């Protein structure tokens, strides 16, 4: 079985839990881009609670497919995002192990949001040891595919089937409580190689 998803920015943990239980993932780059979703937003845990990191996009005034959305370099967002990630996770057990794998994404410039997200996804899967097939051409005629595009929407993220949140170590859990629907970066920096075990348990 494969799963169907929008290309997301450091996607929430539920997507990777479902990918753990699947054979591969198909990314839908043809559907219209929607604002205020995880297509260009990732949520991390900070000392003061959760924080949303949003990638600015170039607005054209009309509906565009996800694959045609360009990243805007306005506002020095790369510097702001990386500083927020460092501030949130520098005390996490595995930040030093993985920081270099992510840092260069916030130094380079990518023209298209989908390309940026897919490159990050490939790195995440490599660090997780999650070897699954990846496709970007949606063939809706496939019989064995599960539509998980709801994970892109904050309002429907918690409704994703096949995901049972399992607590794992988080730096600020004692202060703010456990947060189950954060970006996959949170799980990686906090759990390292054991992140895959957490995904397995969440997929039950």
Distance in angstroms (rounded) separating the CA atoms of residues 19 and 182: 16
Check residue 142 and give its pLDDT.
61
- For residue 56, give both structure tokens: 């600015």
pLDDT of residue 143: 62
Using 50, 70 and 90 to split pLDDT, how confident is the model at 139? low
Residue numbers of the domain that contains 106? 2-202
pLDDT reading at 112 higher than 90 = yes
Please compute the mean of the pLDDT values over residues 78-83 and round it to a whole number.
Answer: 96
**Which run of H or E residues covers position 112?**
none
User: Apex CA 52: angle with CA 202 and CA 108, to 5°?
Assistant: 100
CB-based contact 153:181 (threshold 8 Å)? no
**Mean pLDDT, all residues of the chain:** 93
The total domain count for the chain is 1
Instruction: Read off the pLDDT band of 87 (50, 70, 90).
Output: very high
User: Confidence band (pLDDT; 50, 70, 90) for 138?
Assistant: low
Q: What Å distances lie between residue 172 and 43, 53, 56, 108, CA to CA? A: 14, 18, 28, 30
Per the CB < 8 A criterion, the answer to whether 182 and 16 are in contact is no
Residues 66, 72, 73, 76: what is their CA dihedral angle, to the nearest 10 degrees?
Answer: -90
- Phi/psi of residue 84, nearest 5 degrees: -65, -40
Query: What is the tens place of the pLDDT at every residue in 140-171?
Result: 546 678 999 999 999 999 888 889 999 999 99
pLDDT at residue number 110: 73
pLDDT at res. 15: 97
- Helices (H), strands (E): how many in the chain? 7, 6
H or E stretch at 153: none
């Amino acid at each position: 079985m494969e799963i169907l998803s929008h290309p997301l920015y450091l996607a929430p943990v539920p997507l990777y839990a479902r990918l753990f239980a699947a054979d591969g993932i198909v990314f839908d780059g043809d559907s219209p881009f929607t604002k205020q979703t995880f297509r260009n937003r990732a949520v991390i845990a900070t000392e003061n609670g959760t924080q949303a990191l949003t990638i600015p996009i170039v607005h054209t005034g009309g509906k565009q497919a996800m694959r045609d959305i360009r990243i805007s370099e306005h506002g020095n967002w790369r510097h702001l995002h990386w500083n927020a990630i460092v501030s949130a996770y520098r005390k996490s057990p595995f930040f030093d192990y993985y920081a270099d794998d992510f840092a260069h994404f916030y130094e380079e410039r990518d023209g298209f949001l989908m390309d940026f997200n897919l490159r990050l996804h490939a790195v995440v899967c490599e660090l997780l040891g999650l070897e699954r097939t990846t496709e970007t051409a949606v063939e809706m005629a496939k019989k064995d595919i599960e539509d998980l595009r709801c994970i892109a929407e904050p309002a429907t993220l918690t409704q994703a089937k096949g995901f049972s949140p399992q607590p794992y170590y988080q730096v600020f859990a004692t202060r703010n409580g456990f947060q189950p629907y954060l970006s996959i970066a949170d799980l990686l920096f906090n759990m390292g190689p054991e992140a895959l075990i957490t995904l397995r348990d969440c997929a039950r």
